[in-house]
Structure 1
Amino acid sequence: MIEKLFPCVILTPLDCFWEGAKLQGGSAYLPGRPDIQWTNLDPEQLLEELGPFASLEGFRELLDKAQVGQAYVGRPCLHPDDLHCPPSAPNHHSRQAPNVAQELRGGCHGFSHKFMHWQEELLLGGMARDSQGQLLRAEALQSTFLLMSPRQLYEHFRGDYQTHDIGWSEEQAGTVLQAWQRRFVQLAQEALPENASQQIHAFSSTTLDDILHAFSEVSTARVVGGYLLMVGPPPCALPPPPLEPTLGAPTRDCPFSPQLAYACVTMLRWDCAQSQGAVGLAGVLLVALAVASGLGLCALLGIAFNAATTQVLPFLALGIGVDDIFLMAHAFTEAPPGTPLQERTGECLQRTGTSVALTSINNMVAFFMAAVVPIPALRAFSLQAAIVVGCNFAAVMLVFPAVLSLDLHRRHCQRLDVLCCFSSPCSARVIQILPQELGDRTVPVGIAHLTATVQAFAHCEASSQHVVTILPPQAHLVPPPSDPLGSELFSPGGSTRDLLGQEEGTRQKAVCRSLPCARWNLAHFARSQFAPFLLQSHTKLNCCFPQAMVLVLFGALLGLSLYGATLVQDGLALTDVVPRGTKEHAFLSAQLRYFSLYEVALVTQGGFDYAHSQRALFDLHQRFSSLKAVLPPPATQAPRTWLHYYRNWLQGIQAAFDQDWASGRITRHSYRNGSEDGALAYKLLIQTGDAQEPLDFSQLTTRKLVDKEGLIPPELFYIGLTVWVSSDPLGLAASQANFYPPPPEWLHDKYDTTGENLRIPAAQPLEFAQFPFLLHGLQKTADFMEAIEGARAACAEAGQAGVRAYPSGSPFLFWEQYLGLRRCFLLAVCILLVCTFLVCALLLLNPWTAVLIVLVLAVMTVELFGIMGFLGIKLSAIPVVILVASVGIGVEFTVHVALGFLTAQGSRNLRAARALEHTFAPVTDGAVSTLLGLLMLAGSNFDFIVRYFFVVLTVLTLVGLLHGLVLLPVLLSILGPPPEVVQMYKESPEVLSPPAPQGGGLRWSVSPTQPRSFARVTTSMTVAFHPPPLPGAYIHPASDEPTWSPAATPAGNGSSNLSSRGQCPAT
């Protein structure tokens, strides 16, 4: 009957009233009586009625120890008019509703007044009191159901007839518990109608697990959508790839053929044969496969997947991977027109290999350094991101060049984009080329200058064993005009075929021109508008005005960011993780507002002797109880743990034994006449703990179960633990000890005559036990950190005494990360900046440039941190990982410009402008691609994803774009290092010099000396250096022998005549 009526442990305000019995299940049947339930059970009356028919002394002692009394039937009824309200209820006869505030004052008791007392803070929220401290009202009520663990449920029903044929296991027990919790939450949420004035919020541990599980699922729609948005590299900024002209070939302007998403806007060409939509599609698919392979490798390495892996990494890796695709596509189409087809791929890798390696290596280093953050889930995310970036790097360097080569052959064969099996219809227009000299024309036609590159000479000095490479000065170079006489000859959208088309147009009075919008691209914008505005001046009065304004604006932004950094607070509430508008979010919001109460446990491990460490365990408990956040128990008594319950129980049965011994009911040879407790004490007192001689009756009067210091004899500790667990189930349940390994079962039989019941098996040494505590008043992150630091300090002191313990609970699970988070963040960023400097200095062979890159990256990190403060984004492990990774991601926006600056020639302003011209398009397209990949995160159902990933990563992308294309060029134009190659002039009367631009401006003009004929072009060659030259540096064969006269260089040359030196070859 006791087993059928054993109640559940429910912490509820209803326990102050008779209605609390309605929450307890179970029933028992006795002949001649109605079904016994907690709603009608009066234990005292039941014992009186059954006393004459059965010996219930043990049951009576159990109820008396637990102070059950009349259980629930002696408590007032909330609804006195209820037909089942018992007559023993105080307000049964008066039929008056009880004073709820008065009944709830001081908390409530469960069915046991001794073991089950629920404080007010556990039950009531938003309490209001009068001037005397009396409770007046409360805004919220809370009920908590304590469930068994899967192991406890498994042990409880193991061998039961209900589970004997279903393969009962601990896993099935866990499944049952999860199903029960889901059903409980559903029923609680459906308990009230929608128009009710009250609200019921239900939550369980399984609910949180379900949310995190849904949070960790891959959204196929968002992943596919993000990749479709990114199909195709950015062609809007690319000029048509220069191919060898085919004389007599038909040409025709094709109508615009739309492609998927981003490729439709950026990759297609008016010339169908020159369109590169297939390259974009193949590049994005290649990145997708590289991401998938990287994640598969992570799975093989055993790195656990988590929410950040599934929700963020695919989009972030896509944006980073496609950046390199863009860069290679740009460089491939800018190959010199004279380069053989077989050498185009090698030329592309020569131009972009250093940049791709720099960005990829820095990204990998950044993510590996982010693993310093001591959060397992974020450490796994960082390692996974680093591996995925490595796979992207391998795919871009090894596979994508083959894709470009195949597309090059397709374009050379004049086949359609994507539908490469069909020839391009753009060859329908045939141009007839007349074999006459251009100089014989009678129609005056203004022809602009062709680009004239000059000779470079390599000379091996025998004395120094170095190779000296010398190029002519910038003052004697004839730069290309952007749009001479309105023609398309030198536009990025032009080609030799367009030149021939112009000649035929002048003869046949038919002009075939592309639309102006088709000629515009990002490179043209950077060359003709952005770079002159940012880096050039037109009068002497404002010689440094643009650069000064940029430095002032970015300085102001840095100052605001430093202020915003002071606004960043630590913290990440559970309400930020749960989707807004859900019932789970409403519960967590209400709990945070009304019930800032957290159940925690102080866990003791194995590895030390519990029996000889009792004093240290009591001291640990006392130190932990003295923490400010620990909820004080009623009557200012220290909260009791399993060791207190165990010791007090031993003292109780010792007192019963002493009484029975004094009265003669227990003697040296018999205990049957004594009480149940006296008999238990008798059996414990004779235990020796020695396997050879387990019993010693002489100890009955010479020892005590608890000594004068309140400690249990060590040799009796584990034997007594077995007896206590088997004999005091209420005390064990109230202690929430959760022993492992569990003590063996032992049944006390007072009337055993064989003597076997005297032998008590000792429990195995404990490897796990816990002390439960309640923390309250935790509202801010600082409150949690104070409580966590105090708990850790208490455990550290206990560790010095030999006790291995640690605190456990949701505050430690979610808030302990903030203890050393800022220190780890600063350490990781500093180490990463040093690593970035070393990588850039080694690959660029230029520490000067590496310093500037690291300076810009540090400013980006500070500004991103400050912007987080203005946006109200709190600092947690996830923003820290993004901040650390921002150093590596920022390299994508800076290293291309810096490398272009190093390999350009001329003054600092001119080199910065040329670097912008050639890198503005790939950097911008890389940023746009990253934003398109991140755009899918904005549609997440989790506000956490939107705020902490989408917003932060979007701000990072925009900040990186501004610093890479605005701040860094200005710094390079002022503090930039010297070029990798220097020029010396080889005199030739045939080289035409443009008029000097006024004010140092970068403006090209048509030579007035040749208004009606082509300028003669000197043959020349360009020597490649390491790092490779900028995309667009043409290579031509030299026409004559070099001249080494130093006097060839004009004195007025603004460029310093330095040389690029290297060891002479052995030959």
Structure 2
Amino acid sequence: MFMLLHSYPEVVSNVNRNELGFLLKQTGVSILISSLNNIFAFCAGTILPIPALRSFCAQTAILLSVNLVGIFLIYPAFIALDLKRRKAGRRDLAFLAYYCLCMDESVGTVQHYQHQNNDNNGVTHQELINAKSDYECASPPYLPAELDKTVNSCKHPEVVYTQPKLNNVHQFERTRKRRQKKSYRMYTLQGFLHIVYIPLLKYTTFKIGVLLSAFGLFLLSLYGISHSTIGLELSDILPENSAPADFLKTRDRYFSFYPMSIVLHGEQIDFPARQHQIDLLRNEIGYSRFVVKLADGEPSERYWLQLFRDWLIGMQQRLDNAKIQFGDLNSANLTSSMIGNPDLQIAFSLACSYGENYDCDRVNFVRLIDESGTINSDGFYNYLYGWHEYEQMFYAVSQASFYPRLKKLRQGTPGNMKYRYFIPPAPKPLFSRIPFYLSGLHDTPTIMQMIHDIRSISENYTRMGLVNHPEGVPFTFWEQYLHLEYYLVVSIAIISLSVFCVITLIIFNPWAAGIVTLVVLSMTVELAGFMGLAHVKLNPISAVTLITAVGIGVEFTAHVVLAFLTSLGTRHERMEECLKHMFVPVIHGGMSTLLVII
């Protein structure tokens, strides 16, 4: 939009027809390149594995696409209405006084040359108007026949535009530029550009100094990147000096305590066959220096398979004692004993139940659990249901969280002794948890090390067939940082390739496209280095900033490159015309972007 605003008065003052087409021809390519690269930059941001940021980048890309359509369709429509007003002779009262002030300065210039030159060599009306056009600020274009009326309206009736005669048109142009330069104020953008910036850029030493400064800044940025840190603490997302933020900072400094669990995917696990492998998984995770342990080195929290196994050992001990007392066990000789001994009744029911079957003849030779701690595979799920039914407190302590949840058992009718104490098999737990507690997690690098250790163990057992994954606040909040640098590099590479391809396809100049891509990449490195020097942590939010910085950088770089390519003359002249045409809109666009971010 700033490109159109800045080029519109210039086009109107130099073109008498098809002004809108000439305006879009002059600025359309630059706007198209910058808008497309901005869109692709936010599309590349969707590569980051953060759902919220993916949604933000996708919505922003859609918004920029709509904005591109509006810039090329809606805004030119308003410009067309303004052109219609100008050609109809209706004045814009808001700028009339400003126009008269500008005309006063330009009229003085014309008077100076009219009184100074009286020979027969002159210029035409149109040449004089073109020479004067740089002084006009917000006025509509005027034909030579309308000049007398315009000057009279600005209270300069003594000036009459006849065909002036000058000895040298080039002398007129040089003097005009010199007077124009004097008219600029140092504190304005145009004044800084014409008085300071452009003259300095004509010196070779200044150019070398700029290049060396850019190279030094690039090296400093590499140093900053080497000292950058990764992370976003929980306290960073809360208002500074608030009570919750102070609490989290204190907790991280002195406690840094988090719960976690290993979730077993029961649908793909044969629990009876892999019960010892589950123990190995828990023990190996327990070796981590971040897991809270007891004095004997065991993890502080016992899990459901341990408690389940201990309970079955107790049940098997009761059956063994009954065998010593009664010999062969059957319903007849145990009926009176089970009345006063509910644990023996439960143990007998467990021994009789396996799968969907109820057979008490196997009580004398079957064992619920053997000496090695292996639970009987035939009745594993029946025993699991019995443990859940009769040891609700230990089930809650284990934090197993079986899913689907097990329902309360119902005994059969008293008259049907065969199925009175039958314990049906529990449905296979699709999900179950092994709890742990973590400590020593003071900062993001430490948490990332913990996640890497636990995740590597979990993935190793998953490859062996014991499908599982870690779960907890550290994994939910910080695991995204494990591959953040990889996704950041991939995103920047994709958007850089997009920048190169878009510019190459639109202007058919791979050399210019390569220079723009190189400059934008150096800007991205410098931004990342500044973040490291300013102790701004690298996190998904700052990663999106780096990715979109590529597209934003292209917006300004492409404008300058296109203006230079389309200018005529020597290198110095092309550079000067390029800066005259692009310096102000680029600064305006950059300042507006800065204000929006702030």
TM-score normalised over the length of structure 2: 0.84
Question: Which residue matches 1:684?
Answer: 350
Deviation track 1:1011-1052 (CA, whole Å, cap 9, x = no partner) reads xxxxxxxxxxxxxxxxxxxxxxxxxxxxxxxxxxxxxxxxxx
Higher alpha-carbon deviation: 814-823 or 330-339 = 330-339
Q: Tell me the secondary structure at the aligned position of residue 760 of structure 1.
A: coil
1:348 to 16, 20, 23: 23
2:470 to 782, 785, 807: 807
- Structure 1 residue 724: Cα displacement: 1.0
Deviation track 1:809-856 (CA, whole Å, cap 9, x = no partner) reads 111112212212112222222232222111111111111111111111
Amino acid at match of 2:312: L
Residues 634 and 326 of structure 1, relative CA distance in 2, 3 Å threshold = same
Residues 494 and 653 of structure 1, relative CA distance in 2, 3 Å threshold = closer
Question: Which residue matches 2:59?
Answer: 384
- Structure 1 residue 584: Cα displacement: 1.1
Quote the Cα distance in structure 2 between the aligned partners of 1:897 and 1:923: 8
Quote the Cα distance in structure 1 between the aligned partners of 2:383 and 2:448: 39
Quote the Cα distance in structure 1 between the aligned partners of 2:540 and 2:416: 66
- Structure 1 residue 877: Cα displacement: 1.2
Kept in 1, the 8 Å contact 2:263–2:432? The answer is yes
1:658 to 320, 341, 345: 320
2:284 to 598, 602, 623: 623
1:695 to 339, 345, 358: 358
1:786 to 449, 469, 472: 449
Quote the Cα distance in structure 1 between the aligned partners of 2:342 and 2:274: 30
Quote the Cα distance in structure 2 between the aligned partners of 1:388 and 1:847: 29
- Structure 1 residue 800: Cα displacement: 2.2
More helix by share: 2
2:191 to 505, 521, 525: 525
Kept in 1, the 8 Å contact 2:521–2:550? The answer is yes
Q: Tell me the secondary structure at the aligned position of residue 673 of structure 1.
A: helix
2:275 to 608, 614, 632: 614
- Structure 1 residue 526: Cα displacement: 6.3
Question: Which residue matches 2:490?
Answer: 827
- The reply to whether residue 599 of structure 1 matches residue 265 of structure 2 is no
Residues 828 and 901 of structure 1, relative CA distance in 2, 3 Å threshold = same
Kept in 2, the 8 Å contact 1:598–1:810? The answer is yes
- Structure 1 residue 632: Cα displacement: 0.6
Quote the Cα distance in structure 2 between the aligned partners of 1:480 and 1:559: 48
- RCO greater where, 1 or 2, for CA within 8 Å and sep 6 or more? 2
Kept in 1, the 8 Å contact 2:283–2:298? The answer is no
Question: Which residue matches 1:329?
Answer: 5
Q: Tell me the secondary structure at the aligned position of residue 28 of structure 2.
A: helix
Amino acid at match of 2:319: F
Quote the Cα distance in structure 2 between the aligned partners of 1:418 and 1:801: 81
Quote the Cα distance in structure 1 between the aligned partners of 2:57 and 2:457: 33
Residues 379 and 446 of structure 1, relative CA distance in 2, 3 Å threshold = farther
Quote the Cα distance in structure 2 between the aligned partners of 1:705 and 1:404: 88
Taking the TM superposition and a 5 Å limit, the aligned residue runs for 1:190-269 are: none
Question: Which residue matches 1:860?
Answer: 523
- Structure 1 residue 411: Cα displacement: 3.7
Quote the Cα distance in structure 1 between the aligned partners of 2:484 and 2:441: 19
- Structure 1 residue 905: Cα displacement: 0.7
Quote the Cα distance in structure 1 between the aligned partners of 2:114 and 2:406: 113
1:673 to 324, 327, 337: 337
Question: Which residue matches 1:985?
Answer: none
Question: Which residue matches 2:167?
Answer: none
- The reply to whether residue 369 of structure 1 matches residue 44 of structure 2 is yes
Residues 508 and 641 of structure 1, relative CA distance in 2, 3 Å threshold = same
- Structure 1 residue 446: Cα displacement: 8.9
Amino acid at match of 1:548: I
Quote the Cα distance in structure 1 between the aligned partners of 2:82 and 2:258: 63
Deviation track 1:459-479 (CA, whole Å, cap 9, x = no partner) reads xxxxxxxxxxxxxxxxxxx99
Taking the TM superposition and a 5 Å limit, the aligned residue runs for 1:933-972 are: 933-935=596-598
- Structure 1 residue 914: Cα displacement: 0.7
Amino acid at match of 1:330: H
Quote the Cα distance in structure 1 between the aligned partners of 2:556 and 2:98: 37
Amino acid at match of 2:8: F
1:645 to 290, 307, 322: 307
Deviation track 1:515-566 (CA, whole Å, cap 9, x = no partner) reads x9999996743652244234213xxxxxx11111211222221121111111
Deviation track 1:745-792 (CA, whole Å, cap 9, x = no partner) reads 115699886444322222212111111101111123222122111111
Kept in 1, the 8 Å contact 2:37–2:555? The answer is no
Question: Which residue matches 2:420?
Answer: 757
Deviation track 1:82-104 (CA, whole Å, cap 9, x = no partner) reads xxxxxxxxxxxxxxxxxxxxxxx
Quote the Cα distance in structure 1 between the aligned partners of 2:414 and 2:328: 13
Deviation track 1:220-243 (CA, whole Å, cap 9, x = no partner) reads xxxxxxxxxxxxxxxxxxxxxxxx
- The reply to whether residue 927 of structure 1 matches residue 590 of structure 2 is yes
- Structure 1 residue 658: Cα displacement: 1.8
Residues 906 and 764 of structure 1, relative CA distance in 2, 3 Å threshold = same
Amino acid at match of 1:335: V
Quote the Cα distance in structure 2 between the aligned partners of 1:707 and 1:630: 30
- The reply to whether residue 562 of structure 1 matches residue 222 of structure 2 is yes
Residues 834 and 816 of structure 1, relative CA distance in 2, 3 Å threshold = same
Quote the Cα distance in structure 2 between the aligned partners of 1:410 and 1:712: 92
Deviation track 1:337-392 (CA, whole Å, cap 9, x = no partner) reads 46455x22222221122111111111121112222222222222222222221121
Question: Which residue matches 1:360?
Answer: 35
Kept in 2, the 8 Å contact 1:654–1:678? The answer is no
Residues 661 and 752 of structure 1, relative CA distance in 2, 3 Å threshold = farther
Kept in 1, the 8 Å contact 2:45–2:57? The answer is yes
Amino acid at match of 1:584: P
CA RMSD of aligned residues (A): 3.6
Quote the Cα distance in structure 2 between the aligned partners of 1:662 and 1:597: 50
Quote the Cα distance in structure 2 between the aligned partners of 1:445 and 1:505: 24
Taking the TM superposition and a 5 Å limit, the aligned residue runs for 1:61-210 are: none
Amino acid at match of 2:6: H
Residues 336 and 668 of structure 1, relative CA distance in 2, 3 Å threshold = same
Amino acid at match of 2:562: L
1:493 to 137, 150, 159: 137
Unaligned runs of 5+ in 2: 104-109, 161-179
- The reply to whether residue 536 of structure 1 matches residue 202 of structure 2 is yes
Residues 450 and 637 of structure 1, relative CA distance in 2, 3 Å threshold = farther
Percent identical: 30
Quote the Cα distance in structure 2 between the aligned partners of 1:819 and 1:804: 21
Unaligned runs of 5+ in 1: 1-324, 432-437, 455-477, 482-487, 538-543, 936-1067
- Structure 1 residue 595: Cα displacement: 1.0
- Structure 1 residue 706: Cα displacement: 1.2
Kept in 2, the 8 Å contact 1:616–1:801? The answer is no
Amino acid at match of 1:334: E
Q: What is the number of residues matched between the two proteins?
A: 557
Kept in 2, the 8 Å contact 1:665–1:671? The answer is no
Q: Tell me the secondary structure at the aligned position of residue 773 of structure 1.
A: strand
Kept in 2, the 8 Å contact 1:743–1:763? The answer is yes
Q: Tell me the secondary structure at the aligned position of residue 231 of structure 2.
A: coil
- The reply to whether residue 873 of structure 1 matches residue 536 of structure 2 is yes
Quote the Cα distance in structure 2 between the aligned partners of 1:450 and 1:621: 95
Deviation track 1:308-350 (CA, whole Å, cap 9, x = no partner) reads xxxxxxxxxxxxxxxxx11122223221546455x22222221
Amino acid at match of 1:582: S
Kept in 2, the 8 Å contact 1:414–1:424? The answer is no
